Amino acid sequence: MKRFSVLVNCTLLLTLMVIALGAYTRLTDAGLGCPDWPGCYGKFHAPVLDHHIAAAQAQFPHLEVDPYKARNEMLHRYIAGLLGLAIAAIFFGSYYLKQYRLLATGLLLLVIFQAALGMWTVTLNLLPLIVLAHLLGGFALLCLLALLRAEIYWRQQQVIATATTSSNTQATEPALSAGLGFGYVVLLVLIAQITLGGWTSTNYAAAVCSQLPFCEAGWQERFSLSLVFHLPLGHETYEYGVLPYEARMSIHVLHRIGAICTLLVFGAFLIWSWRRARGVFMRRLVVAMAILLLVQVMLGLINIVMLVPLWNAVAHNLVAALLLMLLLVFLRQMQLRKIQLRQIVTNPTQVTAPVITQVTPGKTIIN
Ligand code: HEM
Protein backbone atom coordinates (compact mmCIF):
# COMPACT_ATOMS: atom_id res chain seq x y z
CA MET A 1 0.00 0.00 0.00
CA LYS A 2 2.90 2.32 0.82
CA ARG A 3 4.36 1.79 -2.66
CA PHE A 4 0.97 2.56 -4.19
CA SER A 5 0.75 5.92 -2.35
CA VAL A 6 4.32 6.77 -3.41
CA LEU A 7 3.32 5.96 -7.00
CA VAL A 8 0.27 8.25 -6.74
CA ASN A 9 2.41 11.05 -5.23
CA CYS A 10 4.96 10.81 -8.05
CA THR A 11 2.18 10.70 -10.66
CA LEU A 12 0.67 13.87 -9.17
CA LEU A 13 4.01 15.66 -9.55
CA LEU A 14 4.39 14.29 -13.08
CA THR A 15 0.91 15.61 -13.99
CA LEU A 16 1.84 19.09 -12.76
CA MET A 17 4.98 18.89 -14.91
CA VAL A 18 2.99 17.81 -17.97
CA ILE A 19 0.48 20.66 -17.44
CA ALA A 20 3.30 23.21 -17.13
CA LEU A 21 5.11 21.77 -20.16
CA GLY A 22 1.85 21.76 -22.14
CA ALA A 23 1.34 25.45 -21.36
CA TYR A 24 4.99 26.16 -22.22
CA THR A 25 4.60 24.33 -25.54
CA ARG A 26 1.40 26.23 -26.39
CA LEU A 27 2.78 29.62 -25.33
CA THR A 28 6.02 29.20 -27.28
CA ASP A 29 3.83 28.44 -30.33
CA ALA A 30 5.41 25.00 -30.47
CA GLY A 31 2.12 23.07 -30.72
CA LEU A 32 2.94 22.36 -34.37
CA GLY A 33 6.69 22.07 -33.71
CA CYS A 34 6.31 18.52 -35.01
CA PRO A 35 3.86 18.31 -37.92
CA ASP A 36 3.22 14.56 -37.45
CA TRP A 37 2.17 12.34 -34.53
CA PRO A 38 3.37 10.42 -32.52
CA GLY A 39 6.82 10.91 -34.13
CA CYS A 40 8.49 14.16 -35.10
CA TYR A 41 9.32 14.54 -38.81
CA GLY A 42 9.08 10.75 -39.00
CA LYS A 43 11.48 10.07 -36.09
CA PHE A 44 10.96 9.48 -32.37
CA HIS A 45 13.23 12.40 -31.47
CA ALA A 46 13.26 16.09 -32.37
CA PRO A 47 15.58 17.13 -35.24
CA VAL A 48 18.27 19.04 -33.32
CA LEU A 49 21.46 18.02 -35.12
CA ASP A 50 22.25 19.61 -38.48
CA HIS A 51 21.86 16.44 -40.54
CA HIS A 52 18.55 15.61 -38.79
CA ILE A 53 17.28 19.12 -39.57
CA ALA A 54 18.34 18.76 -43.20
CA ALA A 55 16.64 15.35 -43.47
CA ALA A 56 13.43 16.71 -41.87
CA GLN A 57 13.47 19.71 -44.23
CA ALA A 58 13.88 17.40 -47.24
CA GLN A 59 10.95 15.27 -46.03
CA PHE A 60 8.67 18.28 -45.38
CA PRO A 61 9.87 20.88 -47.93
CA HIS A 62 6.72 23.06 -47.53
CA LEU A 63 7.42 23.59 -43.78
CA GLU A 64 10.13 25.52 -41.98
CA VAL A 65 11.80 23.13 -39.50
CA ASP A 66 12.27 24.85 -36.14
CA PRO A 67 14.42 22.63 -33.86
CA TYR A 68 13.60 24.71 -30.75
CA LYS A 69 9.84 24.26 -31.21
CA ALA A 70 10.26 20.58 -32.15
CA ARG A 71 12.28 19.98 -28.97
CA ASN A 72 9.61 21.64 -26.77
CA GLU A 73 6.86 19.59 -28.39
CA MET A 74 8.76 16.29 -28.07
CA LEU A 75 9.71 16.96 -24.43
CA HIS A 76 6.00 17.42 -23.68
CA ARG A 77 5.19 14.16 -25.50
CA TYR A 78 7.90 12.15 -23.68
CA ILE A 79 6.82 13.31 -20.22
CA ALA A 80 3.15 12.81 -21.15
CA GLY A 81 4.08 9.26 -22.27
CA LEU A 82 5.70 8.65 -18.90
CA LEU A 83 2.54 9.92 -17.22
CA GLY A 84 0.50 7.45 -19.29
CA LEU A 85 2.71 4.60 -18.02
CA ALA A 86 2.42 5.80 -14.41
CA ILE A 87 -1.37 5.90 -14.69
CA ALA A 88 -1.39 2.40 -16.21
CA ALA A 89 0.64 1.27 -13.17
CA ILE A 90 -1.93 2.91 -10.85
CA PHE A 91 -4.70 1.09 -12.73
CA PHE A 92 -3.04 -2.35 -12.36
CA GLY A 93 -2.05 -1.55 -8.77
CA SER A 94 -5.64 -0.71 -7.85
CA TYR A 95 -6.89 -4.03 -9.26
CA TYR A 96 -4.13 -5.87 -7.43
CA LEU A 97 -5.06 -4.12 -4.16
CA LYS A 98 -8.80 -4.38 -4.93
CA GLN A 99 -9.21 -0.75 -3.91
CA TYR A 100 -9.86 2.58 -5.70
CA ARG A 101 -10.75 0.71 -8.90
CA LEU A 102 -13.35 3.24 -10.02
CA LEU A 103 -11.01 6.23 -9.73
CA ALA A 104 -8.12 4.30 -11.33
CA THR A 105 -10.31 3.21 -14.26
CA GLY A 106 -11.48 6.81 -14.74
CA LEU A 107 -7.84 7.93 -14.75
CA LEU A 108 -6.84 5.35 -17.35
CA LEU A 109 -9.74 6.20 -19.69
CA LEU A 110 -9.02 9.91 -19.29
CA VAL A 111 -5.32 9.59 -20.06
CA ILE A 112 -6.11 7.55 -23.21
CA PHE A 113 -8.56 10.26 -24.28
CA GLN A 114 -5.92 12.90 -23.50
CA ALA A 115 -3.46 11.13 -25.82
CA ALA A 116 -6.11 11.18 -28.57
CA LEU A 117 -6.71 14.91 -27.95
CA GLY A 118 -2.94 15.47 -28.14
CA MET A 119 -2.91 13.75 -31.54
CA TRP A 120 -5.91 15.77 -32.82
CA THR A 121 -4.24 18.97 -31.59
CA VAL A 122 -1.51 18.28 -34.15
CA THR A 123 -3.51 16.66 -36.95
CA LEU A 124 -6.26 19.33 -36.82
CA ASN A 125 -3.67 22.11 -36.76
CA LEU A 126 -4.47 23.60 -33.33
CA LEU A 127 -8.27 23.67 -33.67
CA PRO A 128 -9.14 25.83 -30.59
CA LEU A 129 -11.90 23.51 -29.35
CA ILE A 130 -9.49 20.55 -29.32
CA VAL A 131 -6.64 22.53 -27.72
CA LEU A 132 -9.06 23.74 -25.03
CA ALA A 133 -10.34 20.19 -24.41
CA HIS A 134 -6.71 19.01 -24.12
CA LEU A 135 -6.02 21.73 -21.52
CA LEU A 136 -9.15 20.86 -19.52
CA GLY A 137 -8.34 17.14 -19.79
CA GLY A 138 -4.97 17.81 -18.13
CA PHE A 139 -6.71 19.67 -15.29
CA ALA A 140 -9.22 16.82 -14.91
CA LEU A 141 -6.37 14.29 -14.64
CA LEU A 142 -4.77 16.35 -11.87
CA CYS A 143 -8.08 16.60 -10.00
CA LEU A 144 -8.81 12.86 -10.21
CA LEU A 145 -5.31 12.08 -8.95
CA ALA A 146 -5.70 14.52 -6.06
CA LEU A 147 -9.02 12.92 -5.13
CA LEU A 148 -7.34 9.49 -5.23
CA ARG A 149 -4.53 10.76 -3.01
CA ALA A 150 -7.01 12.20 -0.53
CA GLU A 151 -9.01 8.95 -0.55
CA ILE A 152 -5.86 6.93 0.26
CA TYR A 153 -5.07 9.30 3.11
CA TRP A 154 -8.55 8.95 4.60
CA ARG A 155 -8.46 5.16 4.40
CA GLN A 156 -5.07 5.12 6.11
CA GLN A 157 -6.59 7.21 8.89
CA GLN A 158 -9.51 4.78 9.05
CA VAL A 159 -7.09 2.03 10.03
CA ILE A 160 -5.73 4.21 12.84
CA ALA A 161 -9.26 5.23 13.81
CA THR A 162 -10.38 1.63 14.42
CA ALA A 163 -7.52 1.31 16.91
CA THR A 164 -8.20 4.61 18.69
CA THR A 165 -11.93 5.16 18.47
CA SER A 166 -12.98 8.56 19.71
CA SER A 167 -16.08 10.62 19.11
CA ASN A 168 -15.71 14.32 18.68
CA THR A 169 -18.79 15.60 16.90
CA GLN A 170 -17.12 19.05 16.57
CA ALA A 171 -14.64 17.51 14.10
CA THR A 172 -17.42 16.71 11.63
CA GLU A 173 -17.62 20.46 10.99
CA PRO A 174 -21.41 20.71 11.43
CA ALA A 175 -21.38 24.43 10.58
CA LEU A 176 -19.58 23.79 7.28
CA SER A 177 -21.83 20.98 6.07
CA ALA A 178 -24.60 23.41 5.11
CA GLY A 179 -22.34 25.06 2.54
CA LEU A 180 -21.94 22.21 0.06
CA GLY A 181 -24.44 23.72 -2.39
CA PHE A 182 -22.57 27.04 -2.26
CA GLY A 183 -19.33 25.11 -2.87
CA TYR A 184 -20.74 23.47 -6.00
CA VAL A 185 -21.72 26.90 -7.36
CA VAL A 186 -18.14 28.12 -6.77
CA LEU A 187 -16.84 25.01 -8.55
CA LEU A 188 -19.02 25.78 -11.59
CA VAL A 189 -17.88 29.43 -11.62
CA LEU A 190 -14.22 28.37 -11.41
CA ILE A 191 -14.58 25.80 -14.21
CA ALA A 192 -16.30 28.44 -16.39
CA GLN A 193 -13.50 30.93 -15.69
CA ILE A 194 -10.80 28.36 -16.49
CA THR A 195 -12.61 27.47 -19.71
CA LEU A 196 -12.77 31.17 -20.66
CA GLY A 197 -9.05 31.53 -19.89
CA GLY A 198 -8.26 28.53 -22.09
CA TRP A 199 -10.50 29.99 -24.82
CA THR A 200 -8.59 33.29 -24.57
CA SER A 201 -5.27 31.50 -24.91
CA THR A 202 -6.24 29.03 -27.68
CA ASN A 203 -7.73 31.82 -29.80
CA TYR A 204 -4.62 34.00 -29.36
CA ALA A 205 -6.67 36.71 -27.66
CA ALA A 206 -4.22 37.44 -24.82
CA ALA A 207 -2.65 40.56 -26.29
CA VAL A 208 -5.68 42.24 -27.88
CA CYS A 209 -6.45 44.34 -24.78
CA SER A 210 -3.65 46.09 -22.96
CA GLN A 211 -5.71 48.59 -20.92
CA LEU A 212 -7.19 48.08 -17.46
CA PRO A 213 -9.75 47.29 -16.20
CA PHE A 214 -11.38 45.81 -19.35
CA CYS A 215 -9.95 46.90 -22.72
CA GLU A 216 -9.12 49.88 -24.91
CA ALA A 217 -11.67 52.74 -25.02
CA GLY A 218 -14.78 51.95 -27.06
CA TRP A 219 -14.73 48.19 -26.42
CA GLN A 220 -18.37 48.28 -25.25
CA GLU A 221 -19.62 49.14 -28.76
CA ARG A 222 -17.67 46.29 -30.36
CA PHE A 223 -18.25 43.67 -27.63
CA SER A 224 -20.46 40.76 -28.74
CA LEU A 225 -21.42 37.78 -26.60
CA SER A 226 -22.39 35.68 -29.62
CA LEU A 227 -18.89 36.11 -31.07
CA VAL A 228 -17.39 34.64 -27.86
CA PHE A 229 -19.20 31.36 -28.44
CA HIS A 230 -18.73 31.26 -32.20
CA LEU A 231 -16.66 28.18 -33.02
CA PRO A 232 -13.90 28.81 -35.55
CA LEU A 233 -14.08 25.84 -37.97
CA GLY A 234 -13.11 25.01 -41.55
CA HIS A 235 -9.65 26.61 -41.61
CA GLU A 236 -6.50 24.93 -42.83
CA THR A 237 -4.56 25.95 -39.73
CA TYR A 238 -5.48 27.79 -36.51
CA GLU A 239 -1.93 28.74 -35.54
CA TYR A 240 -1.81 32.39 -34.34
CA GLY A 241 -5.63 32.52 -34.41
CA VAL A 242 -8.24 32.98 -37.10
CA LEU A 243 -10.87 35.07 -35.32
CA PRO A 244 -11.44 38.76 -36.13
CA TYR A 245 -10.50 41.46 -33.60
CA GLU A 246 -14.08 41.84 -32.28
CA ALA A 247 -14.30 38.13 -31.39
CA ARG A 248 -10.89 38.02 -29.70
CA MET A 249 -11.58 41.21 -27.78
CA SER A 250 -14.98 39.90 -26.60
CA ILE A 251 -13.40 36.62 -25.41
CA HIS A 252 -10.65 38.51 -23.59
CA VAL A 253 -13.06 40.96 -21.95
CA LEU A 254 -15.38 38.16 -20.85
CA HIS A 255 -12.43 36.42 -19.16
CA ARG A 256 -11.74 39.62 -17.23
CA ILE A 257 -15.40 40.00 -16.24
CA GLY A 258 -15.26 36.32 -15.26
CA ALA A 259 -12.22 37.07 -13.08
CA ILE A 260 -14.20 39.68 -11.13
CA CYS A 261 -17.12 37.26 -10.66
CA THR A 262 -14.75 34.45 -9.63
CA LEU A 263 -12.98 36.69 -7.15
CA LEU A 264 -16.28 37.76 -5.58
CA VAL A 265 -18.00 34.34 -5.47
CA PHE A 266 -14.91 32.32 -4.52
CA GLY A 267 -13.81 35.01 -2.05
CA ALA A 268 -17.25 35.01 -0.39
CA PHE A 269 -17.15 31.21 -0.12
CA LEU A 270 -13.69 31.31 1.46
CA ILE A 271 -14.74 33.92 4.03
CA TRP A 272 -17.91 31.91 4.75
CA SER A 273 -15.86 28.71 5.18
CA TRP A 274 -13.19 30.41 7.31
CA ARG A 275 -15.83 31.62 9.76
CA ARG A 276 -17.33 28.13 10.12
CA ALA A 277 -14.38 25.73 9.84
CA ARG A 278 -13.15 24.57 13.24
CA GLY A 279 -10.37 22.13 12.41
CA VAL A 280 -6.87 23.14 11.36
CA PHE A 281 -6.98 20.88 8.28
CA MET A 282 -9.96 22.65 6.70
CA ARG A 283 -8.74 26.09 7.76
CA ARG A 284 -5.37 25.45 6.13
CA LEU A 285 -7.11 24.48 2.92
CA VAL A 286 -9.11 27.74 3.04
CA VAL A 287 -5.93 29.79 3.54
CA ALA A 288 -4.15 27.97 0.70
CA MET A 289 -7.05 28.62 -1.67
CA ALA A 290 -7.25 32.29 -0.64
CA ILE A 291 -3.53 32.78 -1.33
CA LEU A 292 -3.76 31.00 -4.69
CA LEU A 293 -6.81 33.05 -5.70
CA LEU A 294 -5.03 36.33 -4.99
CA VAL A 295 -1.84 35.13 -6.72
CA GLN A 296 -3.93 34.09 -9.74
CA VAL A 297 -5.50 37.53 -10.08
CA MET A 298 -2.07 39.16 -9.74
CA LEU A 299 -0.60 36.87 -12.43
CA GLY A 300 -3.55 37.76 -14.66
CA LEU A 301 -2.86 41.48 -14.13
CA ILE A 302 0.85 40.96 -14.88
CA ASN A 303 -0.21 39.22 -18.11
CA ILE A 304 -1.91 42.47 -19.13
CA VAL A 305 0.61 45.01 -17.89
CA MET A 306 3.69 43.15 -19.17
CA LEU A 307 2.10 41.74 -22.36
CA VAL A 308 1.96 38.04 -21.41
CA PRO A 309 5.50 37.18 -20.29
CA LEU A 310 6.08 33.47 -20.96
CA TRP A 311 6.82 32.24 -17.41
CA ASN A 312 4.04 34.35 -15.97
CA ALA A 313 1.55 32.81 -18.41
CA VAL A 314 2.77 29.30 -17.52
CA ALA A 315 2.35 30.15 -13.81
CA HIS A 316 -1.18 31.53 -14.50
CA ASN A 317 -2.04 28.15 -16.00
CA LEU A 318 -0.51 26.12 -13.15
CA VAL A 319 -2.13 28.17 -10.38
CA ALA A 320 -5.54 27.71 -12.06
CA ALA A 321 -4.97 23.93 -12.00
CA LEU A 322 -3.95 24.02 -8.31
CA LEU A 323 -6.97 26.15 -7.37
CA LEU A 324 -9.33 23.68 -9.02
CA MET A 325 -7.57 20.75 -7.37
CA LEU A 326 -7.73 22.25 -3.86
CA LEU A 327 -11.36 23.28 -4.23
CA LEU A 328 -12.32 19.73 -5.23
CA VAL A 329 -10.42 18.22 -2.29
CA PHE A 330 -12.09 20.73 0.04
CA LEU A 331 -15.57 19.92 -1.30
CA ARG A 332 -14.92 16.19 -0.98
CA GLN A 333 -13.89 16.75 2.65
CA MET A 334 -17.09 18.71 3.25
CA GLN A 335 -19.07 15.88 1.70
CA LEU A 336 -17.38 13.22 3.86
CA ARG A 337 -17.92 15.23 7.01
CA LYS A 338 -21.57 15.70 6.12
CA ILE A 339 -22.00 11.93 5.60
CA GLN A 340 -20.28 11.24 8.89
CA LEU A 341 -22.36 13.80 10.73
CA ARG A 342 -25.52 12.12 9.42
CA GLN A 343 -24.18 8.73 10.55
CA ILE A 344 -23.43 10.06 14.02
CA VAL A 345 -26.92 11.51 14.29
CA THR A 346 -28.74 8.38 13.02
CA ASN A 347 -26.45 5.74 14.56
CA PRO A 348 -23.93 7.14 17.04
CA THR A 349 -22.33 3.72 17.71
CA GLN A 350 -21.49 2.92 14.08
CA VAL A 351 -19.36 5.51 12.33
CA THR A 352 -17.61 4.18 9.24
CA ALA A 353 -15.87 7.03 7.46
CA PRO A 354 -13.20 8.80 9.52
CA VAL A 355 -12.67 12.49 9.11
CA ILE A 356 -9.36 13.96 10.09
CA THR A 357 -9.27 17.19 11.98
CA GLN A 358 -6.23 18.77 13.50
CA VAL A 359 -7.77 20.73 16.31
CA THR A 360 -4.40 22.00 17.40
CA PRO A 361 -1.30 21.99 15.17
CA GLY A 362 0.55 18.71 15.47
CA LYS A 363 -2.28 16.92 17.30
CA THR A 364 -4.58 15.03 14.96
CA ILE A 365 -8.01 13.89 16.12
CA ILE A 366 -9.79 11.24 14.09
CA ASN A 367 -13.47 10.55 14.45
C1 HEM B 1 -9.73 34.77 -11.17
C2 HEM B 1 -9.16 33.75 -11.54
C3 HEM B 1 -8.59 33.43 -12.89
C4 HEM B 1 -8.53 32.17 -13.39
C5 HEM B 1 -8.98 30.90 -12.70
C6 HEM B 1 -7.89 32.25 -14.68
C7 HEM B 1 -7.61 31.17 -15.49
C8 HEM B 1 -6.97 31.21 -16.70
C9 HEM B 1 -6.58 30.07 -17.49
C10 HEM B 1 -6.80 28.61 -17.11
C11 HEM B 1 -5.99 30.53 -18.62
C12 HEM B 1 -5.42 29.68 -19.77
C13 HEM B 1 -3.93 29.58 -19.61
C14 HEM B 1 -3.29 28.81 -20.72
O15 HEM B 1 -3.90 28.48 -21.72
O16 HEM B 1 -2.11 28.47 -20.56
C17 HEM B 1 -6.00 31.96 -18.55
C18 HEM B 1 -5.49 32.80 -19.53
C19 HEM B 1 -5.44 34.17 -19.43
N20 HEM B 1 -5.86 34.94 -18.36
FE21 HEM B 1 -6.72 34.27 -16.67
N22 HEM B 1 -7.60 33.57 -14.96
C23 HEM B 1 -8.01 34.33 -13.88
C24 HEM B 1 -7.88 35.70 -13.76
C25 HEM B 1 -7.36 36.55 -14.71
C26 HEM B 1 -7.23 37.99 -14.59
C27 HEM B 1 -7.65 38.82 -13.39
C28 HEM B 1 -6.69 38.45 -15.75
C29 HEM B 1 -6.36 39.86 -16.17
C30 HEM B 1 -6.92 40.94 -15.71
C31 HEM B 1 -6.43 37.30 -16.60
C32 HEM B 1 -5.88 37.35 -17.87
C33 HEM B 1 -5.60 36.27 -18.66
C34 HEM B 1 -5.00 36.34 -19.98
C35 HEM B 1 -4.54 37.60 -20.70
C36 HEM B 1 -4.89 35.02 -20.45
C37 HEM B 1 -4.30 34.53 -21.78
C38 HEM B 1 -2.83 34.23 -21.56
C39 HEM B 1 -2.27 33.26 -22.56
O40 HEM B 1 -2.53 33.32 -23.75
O41 HEM B 1 -1.57 32.40 -22.07
N42 HEM B 1 -6.85 36.18 -15.94
N43 HEM B 1 -6.59 32.37 -17.37
The residue ranges of every structural domain in the chain are 1-167, 172-351
CA distances from 66 to 35, 179, 335 (A): 11, 52, 50
In the predicted structure, residue 353 carries a pLDDT above the cut 70: no
> Does the Cβ of 206 fall within 6 Å of ligand 1?
yes
pTM of the model: 0.91
- Does the structure show a pLDDT above 80 at 164? no
Residue type, 3: R
pLDDT tier for residue 165 given thresholds of 50, 70 and 90: low
Beta bridge partners of 357: 365
Spatial CA neighbour of 201 closest among 245, 240, 235? 240
Active-site amino acid positions:
73
Q: What is the DSSP string of 107-139?
A: HHHHHHHHHHHHHHHHHTTS-HHHHHHHHHHHH
Mean pLDDT of 126-151: 96
C-beta 297 within 6 A of ligand 1: yes
Residue of 316, 325, 328 with the most ligand 1 atoms within 8 Å of its CB, for mutation: 316
Using the mean position of ligand 1's atoms as its centre, give its distance from the Cα of residue 197 in Å: 5
How far is the centre of ligand 1, averaged over its atoms, from the C-alpha of 89 (Å)? 34
- In this predicted structure, the answer to whether residue 169 has a pLDDT above a threshold of 60 is no
The model's confidence at residue 254, banded by pLDDT at 50, 70 and 90, is very high
**Does 269 score more than 60 pLDDT?**
yes
pLDDT at 311 over 50: yes
- Asked whether the predicted pLDDT for residue 358 surpasses 60, the reply is no
Tell me the C-alpha distance between 105 and 109, whole Å: 6
CA dihedral sign of residues 195, 177, 358, 274: positive
How far is CA 337 from its chain centroid? 25
For residues 238-251, average pLDDT: 96
